Amino acid sequence: MKSPQISIVAPLYNESETFPLLVERISALMDSSDLSIEVVLVDDGSKDDTAMKIRQLALVDQRYHGVLLSRNHGHQLALTAGLSKARGTEAIFVIDGDLQDPPELLPEFYKLYKEGNDVVYAVRKKRKEGWIKKTGYYLFYRILRSISYVEIPLDSGDFALVSRRVVDVLNKMPEESRYLRGMRSWIGFKQVGFEYERDARAAGESKYSFAQLFKLAYNGIFNFSEFPIKFMSRTGMVSILIALAYFFIVVIKKMFFAHVIEGFTSLLFVIILFSGVQLLALGIIGEYVLRIFFQSKGRPLFIVKEEIVNCEYIN
């Protein structure tokens, strides 16, 4: 296979259990489609035998393109690796490896792409997940939308069909702390949403730890908004104004009425409150500085250990 029209990219971390079903469903999709499709399976340093399964498949079936990373890099970077290795000339279809994003939707996405949309992103109408996660997601997307300087669609994840030219831009974006769904929106061109019901995972547990979910949410907020820092500087200014006004009131009282009520409690309260505000402000500045720190190292975003294309090792 020289240049496939479409690449399907799926990052996999410890997905041994879902692997057979994933391959079965994607293979069925390819068999029934007129498009020439390659499937880029990225192993994100799995500890189970996912990598072995990818190797075995990619060495016998040339439609499968194996990309094995040197260690666990996290979902966003595994996806980044997959996007950079994808050879699809027309578009790249990004899905999760746990079958929460049905691969069978490709023809419908492709139709919208053919109608002139550079990005067809999936919008989750319904989620089959626990209520804590659902509420968290719901709130997060709404907060992000209200403070972001990029218009990031609500309830849409990385599941999308993205045109070759948009992927080329993504591949050129060197940012280390990646929030791909935001970067995708930032790029622009014509983008359209496609509503679907997000399935439950086919097997196993979520591979996103809470720490990873928080990291992703932080990347969304700190990479796509100036609001937190502006909010802090505004709060600072307002509190200075309040302090000044209070100071003048006390001075005038002292001059004309001669007695001032001494209140340690209120003083203590204000000190504690504003120490908290200051720590928060420092922490927020820290989040931005941290991102500059990591970016300034200029390290590669991911390290590929092995790559199998056309049933052969090329790396």
The site for Mg ion (CB under 5 A) is made up of 96, 98, 100
- Give the H or E element holding residue 119: strand 119-127
State the binding string over 182-201 for ligand UDP (x if CB under 6 A, else -): -------------------x
Q: How far is the CB of 37 from ligand UDP (least distance, A)?
A: 18
* Residue 304 DSSP one-character state: E
CA atoms within a 13 Å half-sphere pointing along the CA-CB vector of 275: 5
**H or E stretch at 9:** strand 6-12
Min CB(51)–Mg ion separation in Å: 19
One residue of 177, 206, 235, 239 binding ligand UDP per CB under 6 A: 206
**4 and 37 in contact (C-beta within 8 Å)?**
yes
Q: Looking at beta carbons only, is 51 or 202 nearer to Mg ion?
A: 202
From residue 145, give the alpha-carbon distance in Å to each of 15, 152, 191, 214, 275: 32, 6, 16, 17, 29
Task: State the nearest-atom distance from the C-beta of 59 to Mg ion, in Å.
Answer: 27
Q: How far is the CB of 69 from Mg ion (least distance, A)?
A: 18
Nearer to Mg ion (CB atom), residue 159 or residue 186:
159
Q: How far apart are CA 215 and CA 62, in angstroms?
A: 36
68 lines the binding site for ligand UDP (CB under 6 A)? no
Residue where the block lists tokens 């294309």: 309
In the structure encoding, which two tokens stand for residue 278, read together? Answer: 């200051």
Contact flags string 15-54 toward ligand UDP, x per CB under 6 A: x----------------------------x----------
Amino acid at 115: E
- Provide the minimum distance between the beta carbon of 100 and ligand UDP in the complex, in angstroms, as a whole number: 5
Say which entry of Mg ion, ligand UDP, none residue 97 contacts (CB below 5 to 8 A, set by partner kind): ligand UDP
- H-run or E-run covering 48: none
Distance (Å, whole) CA 80 – CA 147: 25
Interacting residues with ligand UDP between 98 and 137 (CB under 6 A)? 98, 100
For Mg ion, the closer of residues 38 and 98 by Cβ is: 98
Q: Which amino acid is at 137?
A: Y
Q: Which stretch binds ligand UDP (CB under 6 A): 32-40, 72-80, 180-188, 263-271?
A: 72-80
How many residues in total does the chain contain? 315
Which residues are at the interface with ligand UDP (CB under 6 A)?
Answer: 11-13, 15, 44, 72, 74-75, 78, 96-98, 100, 201, 206-208
